[in-house]
Amino acid sequence: GIQAAFVDIGLERAAFLYVTDAGADAEEYARMIEEEGLEGKMEFRSTTQHSIEDILQEGQEIMVQVSKEPIGTKGARITSYVSLPGRYLVLMPTVEHIGISRRIKDNKERARLKEMVQAIKKPGSGFIVRTASESVDKESLIADAEFLELLWQNVQKKKETASAPALVYSELDLIFRTIRDMFTTKVDRLVIDSKTEYERIKEFVRLYLPAMLPRVELYEGEEHIFEAYDIEAELNKALDKKVWLKSGGYIVIDHTEALTVIDVNTGKYVGKRDPEETITLTNLEAVKEVAYQLRLRNIGGIIIIDYIDMEKEKNRDKVFNTMQESFQEDRVRTNIIRMSELGLIEMSRKRTRENIMRTLCEPCSYCSGRGYTKSATTICYEIFRKIRKLARTTKDKKIIVTVHP
């Protein structure tokens, strides 16, 4: 079979647990984390063959964690490898291992962090050292580790008294999760328009990021904060299929059930030099916009980008290399395949949540999500056919047709 189990976690649809996520390969899982960084958890596939029947039995109660939220018609994906993320560390309470984020490149810094974490790790558990830990002092790491250990103790206490299916731990809400993961020294200001949330944020930052406290601001302007910072317009742009480039070119983003397709066009940009250079410049500009739009719209899964055809191999290489560079800072794991002879680049981007289109929109009530409606001529002929059919079967002398003006 598919070597997986459907698990009742209290949601409308049962969650999906692969045999490789069922807890039989902790050591191999730990090695994957070491090699792949924080994203390794989602990509884990054991090379060891196990049968799901040897690990789980029907009716058995197990502790699991959601690793991928329900998307579309698919239920949540879960794992028995529990991990609790903090600001600097991720606690793996059931895996004895220390992993360092692959984004920390300096070998001396990696060794320093590993040595410090080794000293604070408890037997039987492990930590992943997050990118934010770079250059952080030992006291900060200890505080983060102690907080996560206490959190795990609370989870275990709830588990002992809970009746399955039950929630024993929930991630931080959106505001605090954003602060924990994204509020770094690269951020100039954190602006919020709620007095209540402002006070909560200040307390949270005061405890965990005291140096960042001056950057937290309360917005008290008369106009809505979305208008003041032009967020509404940006949200609407993020839902458009067509995205214009500064040069006059544009990209078109189309979603299908299986994948996302992005088409690159020169548009208004004709250039002042030879066509090959114009095309290459448009493609290079499109690369950066594609990377930005994928992050902005939270687009994941299989993605195919149709760049404008370039004759010279060096220009193809330049576009491909620029694309790889553009995704280096992406927090989500990506895999990019070299450009084909047709100018297509295939890539995958890990999908853990719904994209912005599915989050903010619903299928059109007129076209049922097809993206188009029948033309007036087509509808007229349909009406004629229905009238003729009705005329053959009714004894009425008149047929009244009511149509939209």
Give the integer Cα–Cα distance in Å for 200 and 216: 11
* pLDDT per residue as tens, the chain (405 positions): 678 889 999 988 899 998 888 865 566 665 555 555 444 444 445 445 678 887 888 889 999 999 888 877 788 999 888 989 998 999 999 888 898 988 888 999 999 999 999 999 999 899 999 988 998 889 989 989 999 999 999 999 999 999 989 999 998 888 998 998 889 888 999 999 999 999 999 998 998 888 899 999 999 999 999 999 999 888 899 999 999 999 899 999 999 888 999 999 988 766 667 888 889 999 999 999 999 999 999 999 999 999 999 999 999 999 999 999 999 888 888 999 999 988 899 999 988 788 898 888 888 888 877 777 888 899 899 999 999 888 888 888 888 988 877
Are 116 and 201 in a shared domain? Answer: no
Confidence at residue 314, expressed as pLDDT on a 0 to 100 scale = 95
Whose structure tokens read 């100018």? 343
Are 40 and 148 in a shared domain? Answer: yes
Are 249 and 354 in a shared domain? Answer: yes
Nearest to 2 by CA among 13, 23, 16: 16
Widest CA span in the chain: 93
Last-in-domain residue among 338, 359, 380? 359
Are 209 and 261 in a shared domain? Answer: no
Confidence at residue 39, expressed as pLDDT on a 0 to 100 scale = 47
Last-in-domain residue among 168, 196, 228? 228
Confidence at residue 32, expressed as pLDDT on a 0 to 100 scale = 59
Confidence at residue 25, expressed as pLDDT on a 0 to 100 scale = 59
Any domain includes 395 = no
Whose structure tokens read 């939270």? 298
Any domain includes 401 = no
Are 12 and 140 in a shared domain? Answer: yes
Confidence at residue 158, expressed as pLDDT on a 0 to 100 scale = 92
Any domain includes 79 = yes
Are 112 and 196 in a shared domain? Answer: no
Question: Going by DSSP bridges, is the β-strand pair 216-218/190-192 parallel, antiparallel, or unpaired?
Answer: parallel
Are 43 and 142 in a shared domain? Answer: yes
Any domain includes 374 = no
Are 208 and 247 in a shared domain? Answer: no
Give the integer Cα–Cα distance in Å for 77 and 352: 9
Any domain includes 400 = no
Give the integer Cα–Cα distance in Å for 195 and 193: 7
Are 149 and 189 in a shared domain? Answer: no
- Number of domains within the chain: 3
Are 246 and 327 in a shared domain? Answer: yes
Nearest to 117 by CA among 8, 34, 9: 34
Confidence at residue 51, expressed as pLDDT on a 0 to 100 scale = 81
Predicted TM-score of the model (pTM): 0.73
Range of the domain at 239: 234-359
Any domain includes 394 = no
Any domain includes 45 = yes
Any domain includes 367 = no
CB neighbour class for 378 (10 Å; exposed up to 12, middle 13-18, buried from 19): exposed
DSSP string, 369-387: TSS----HHHHHHHHHHHH
Nearest to 304 by CA among 241, 346, 367: 346
Measured torsion, CA atoms of residues 203, 208, 211, 214, in degrees rounded to the nearest 10: -20
Confidence at residue 49, expressed as pLDDT on a 0 to 100 scale = 64
Are 76 and 207 in a shared domain? Answer: no
350 close to 332: Cβ distance less than 8 angstroms: yes
Are 202 and 254 in a shared domain? Answer: no
Per the rule left: phi > 0, alpha: psi between -120 and 50, beta: everything else, 135 is left
Q: CA distances (Å), 47 to each of 5, 26, 29, in order?
A: 19, 12, 10
